[in-house]
Amino acid sequence: MAADPPEPPDQAPAPAPTPSDPGVASDGARVVRPRRAAPAEAARVTRAEINLAHLRHNLHELRAVLAAAAEGRGRRPARIWAVLKADAYGHGGTVAATALERAGVDGVCVALLEEGIELRQAGVRVPVLVMSGSHGRRRDGLEALIEHKLTPVVFDAEQVEALANAQRYMQSTRASEGPLDVHVKIDTGMGRLGVRPEALEPLMGSLRGRGELRVTGWMTHLACADAPEDTVTKTQLARFEGSLAEVARAGFDVSLRHAANSAAVLRWPASHYEVVRPGLALFGVHPLGAAPPSHESEASSAPRAPRLKPVMSVRSEIVALRELPEGASLGYGHTWTAARASRIATVPIGYADGYSRALSNRGEVLVGGRRVPVVGNVSMDLTMIDVTDLPHVTVRDEVVVLGEQRGRYGSDAISAQELAERSGTISWETLTSVSRRVPRFYRHP
């Protein structure tokens, strides 16, 4: 296993701020980013293991799905731009991006300017799309965006003006040559970001008058691609294509389009266009559940379900054991009382690590390949489990919170989907909640 490269010590002097430094706010204050716990510094036994071979496998599986879908439609397979926002769904953005780039991914997508800069500083060279656009006042961060050759998404005239001004300034200093590539986001029904179809004409007018910018892509975001009901996605795709027809009539190049997230890659071949943007599926979680939908619809024509492999597992160890008599209670609020003489183990993982408090008295973990229940309230740093039925358990035995385990009592697995369902949320949140204080260990292919 290998880990992230060592980071400079906290005492290292900060470099002088520059106007394009994304770590400097508009009032001159320096923004200090939190560091992730590094394996070499970790004293706790709780850890996340990231299997990069599984990440590459999932990329190849999605490519196979795209190739089969394209063959059935008589077109070239869509290219994959991996969505690596939120630190690659908690897996480690720079490491995931580097592994995917070596595996031949065509591009990556992030949400924030800072995420894109971090990838560039790690040596990532494929196109990096900043999907949430730019929200800074005046030129905050825009010069850094241009300097690092990131591709912003635009959807209003104010963004267009700010980017054009920043690009013109960078051209005047010879820090950038030629126009800045941008993608335009059309809001077809998500209702968050994007230009509404009825407002396209003014935006196109703004873009047409800005030679500093070049529109190289058009995108939308599907709201319900994973839903059993097809109506919303059909409507969104129809709106997108209607908008693209208007854009093409206005003389813009529409040869690069993208709409499909992980669910749409698997369920909506009509949404593949030239580029797709899978995120969750790359990390081994099926966005449609354990298997694709069984009902027949116009959407469910993907050739086969990919055989995805989970990329992340979260493991810890038992650090304490104690015997509780029948009737004894434990934990904050005494929400659990022993119905029999019980053996209770303490595990150093809690809600500050991303193990949800909603799993109190309802979650399960694996010990020796057997499921055991979480008892009492999950606290910030510690969780208690009932190992009464596992007579040979000792301190230092491994505990699997997420992932597979084989042991003396059998074999089993706990998925991100299961954790999400038990805690009343979604797999995306389960993965991204694994906090920075949990060190990541990387298994390289």
Positions marked active-site:
85, 332
Q: Which residues of 48-57 are buried (b: 16+ CB within 10 A; e: fewer)?
A: bbbbbebbbb
Query: CA–CA separation, 302 vs 82, rounded Å?
Result: 19
Structure token pair of residue 50: 């990231």
* Beta-bridge partner residues of 406: 411
Query: CA–CA separation, 181 vs 104, rounded Å?
Result: 22
* Beta-bridge partner residues of 215: 182
Using an 8 Å Cβ cutoff, are 294 and 319 in contact?
no
* Beta-bridge partner residues of 386: 344
What secondary structure does DSSP assign to 262-284, as a single string? HHHHHH-GGG-SSEE---GGGGT
Using an 8 Å Cβ cutoff, are 150 and 128 in contact?
yes
Query: CA–CA separation, 217 vs 259, rounded Å?
Result: 11
H or E segment at 48?
Answer: strand 47-51
CB atoms inside a 10 Å sphere around CB 275: 22
Which one, of 267, 300, 276, lies nearest residue 78 by Cα? 276
Strands (E), 236-369: 257-258, 275-276, 312-317, 320-324, 329-330, 336-337, 342-347, 364-367
What are the helix (H) ranges across 107-256?
Answer: 113-121, 142-147, 157-172, 200-208, 231-249
